[in-house]
Structure 1
Amino acid sequence: MIENIGIIGGSGKIGSTFRKAFESVGLKVMVTDDSSKNHEDELIEKSDWVILSVPIDKTVDVFDSLKNKIRKNQVFSDFTSVKSILGDETYDFEFVSCHPLFGPLNTIEGQNIVTIPVSEGNLYPSIKDVFKKIGLKITEMKSLREHDKYMSLIQGMTHFSHVCFTTAMKKLDLDFDKVMEICSPIYQSNISFSSRITGGDENLYTNIIMDNPANKEVLQMYLDTSSRLLDMVKDQNYEDFKSNFNDNRDYLKNHISDMIDQSNFLIDKMAEFKKGSKTS
């Protein structure tokens, strides 16, 4: 049973978010950061569950410095977005790697988290119980590599395409205020999501794109696909372009209705927001 949680890096945005969530369900939480690093041993000693929540580029060094201190009756987790950097070691303690698929929010209820039982033990069910108590939806993956393969699409390709979109938009040098005035909610939402990435932590997004080894192949495929479609546009090849469009529709046929409903919901919310911003 988990009663005491220690978060190394717990003063950061994600660490603070989880500290608040854990405490809201009656758990005791101790945190350390760079300014209180001398208390790490105390944190490990007192915790049933030790969580590492530091930037991607610091994860390996911090993990290496503390993994020999984790006891067999404890469980250890990391919250990093890229898992392959942790290697393929075996551990003599329980290790459940986790990936919260959200940033710092006022409430995390209904958000998704991935769990990967690297070396499973008795406390894994308790971890899942805690996540359920704070309202998270859990998806379990089999390995660190499987996680990174899926993230190469969900994060790598998505973030990369938003960076490309914003960079190209900047090069067009159009009047941005006029662009937003013309945009209907569906197009404005795309610019909003790209702006959300641009307004985020450049170190985080750079590491997510650069450090996942699965991204190189996936991003090359993305660029090759873009190049092939661009050739169709240059050649005015209407038939092949429409054929590709229909192939995509067939690929999504079991989900497209739900996806349209979800996008309609977002578009309606964007329209409400845009209307409210004009009247305020």
Structure 2
Amino acid sequence: MKAGIIGGTGKMGQLFAPIFERAGYEVLVSGRSTALTNEKLADTCDLVIVSVPIRDTVRVIGGIAPLLRDDQLLCDFTSLKVGPVAAMLRSKAAVIGLHPMFGPTVSSISGQTIVACPARTTDAALSSLTAVFTREGAVCTITTPEEHDRMMAVVQGLTHFVTICMADSIRRLGVDIKKTEKFTSPVYQIELSLIGRLFSQDPALYADILEQNPFVPEVIAACRSAAGDLADIVTRGDPEAFAEFFSRDSRHLGTYCERGQELTDALIECMVRK
């Protein structure tokens, strides 16, 4: 069996190539610097995975889709699923959209989540593919492309939007990050580390996540509305309204409040030990 990764010379391809090799596949990769073309890879491999930037994914899929046969499996590693899966379905191949919920800097995929969106396939083929990941300790979540994108609007879109806004607020205030270290709390350190992690990466990735997911505008609207309501309460200096606002969200989070306390306590303890 041959597995081909288009864009496999990139960091995500380099992470997954040995995983497929350990599963018994002969792995081929194509990229801008390889002699092997995307077209030749698509013609040669039983499993074809497209692993390119979000904005290039549909175009790259369109270039190979007409070449694929019904005895092949076509997948992608994109952070969005509705558009890429629709593009893959224009081929004759079986189709399963994939989204690794982690970056290529992880040392192992053990304990990590991979979302799978089976669009045109058999249960056996889906099980065979997900077994490649679960044997490495990963957890696979099965869903539809639309549900995936709706969830990503919150899991990625809302998270990144708020993080970027926090960074920009600090900049607008003219706050010296180094000076804040003398006043830091563990929670601020965690928040600042998340900001630093995001801004150490390619802005195009976050632009695509926020701008190309059709469900993100609704999420941002909810965020802006919440911020406006909270700002109004704080400006009025209304502790009763604040308690009501706070309690509504606490009830919605439910048992995750206690879980979050435990997780962050453990993280803070590790930080202190270092």
- TM class by shorter-chain length? over 0.9
Cα deviation, residue 96, structure 1: 0.3
The correspondence for 2:40, drawn from 33, 42, 62, is 42
> Under a length normalisation based on structure 1, what TM-score does the superposition of the two structures give?
0.91
Per the alignment, in what secondary structure is the counterpart of residue 139 of structure 1? Answer: strand
Per the alignment, in what secondary structure is the counterpart of residue 36 of structure 1? Answer: coil
Per the alignment, in what secondary structure is the counterpart of residue 34 of structure 1? Answer: coil
Judge which range, 120-129 or 143-152, deviates more.
120-129
Match of 1:234 in 2: 235
Cα deviation, residue 53, structure 1: 0.1
CA contact (8 A) 1:79 1:99 kept: yes
The answer to whether structure 1 residue 5 and structure 2 residue 6 are counterparts is no
Structure 1: how far apart are the matches of 2:125 and 2:38?
Answer: 21
Match of 2:49 in 1: 51
Match of 1:278 in 2: none
Match of 1:189 in 2: 190
Instruction: Decide whether aligned partners of structure 1 residues 47 and 172 sit closer, same or farther in structure 2, where only a CA change above 3 A counts.
Output: same
Aligned residues: 270
Cα deviation, residue 68, structure 1: 1.6
Per the alignment, in what secondary structure is the counterpart of residue 35 of structure 1? Answer: coil
Dislocated runs of 4+, deviation >6 Å? none
Task: Say which structure, 1 or 2, has more relative contact order (CA 8 Å, 6+ apart).
Answer: 1
Per the alignment, in what secondary structure is the counterpart of residue 135 of structure 1? Answer: coil
CA contact (8 A) 1:25 1:134 kept: no
Cα deviation, residue 64, structure 1: 0.7
Structure 1: how far apart are the matches of 2:155 and 2:2?
Answer: 33
Structure 1: how far apart are the matches of 2:35 and 2:254?
Answer: 52
Cα deviation, residue 45, structure 1: 3.0
Match of 1:116 in 2: 117
Structure 2: how far apart are the matches of 1:204 and 1:37?
Answer: 27
CA RMSD of aligned residues (A): 1.7
CA contact (8 A) 1:96 1:116 kept: yes
Matched residue type, 1:147? H
Match of 1:155 in 2: 156
Structure 1: how far apart are the matches of 2:140 and 2:250?
Answer: 29
Deviations 1:148-195 (A, max 9, x none): 100000000000100000111112222211212321222101110011
CA contact (8 A) 1:108 1:136 kept: yes
Deviations 1:211-245 (A, max 9, x none): 10100111011001100110111111211111111
> Under a length normalisation based on structure 2, what TM-score does the superposition of the two structures give?
0.93
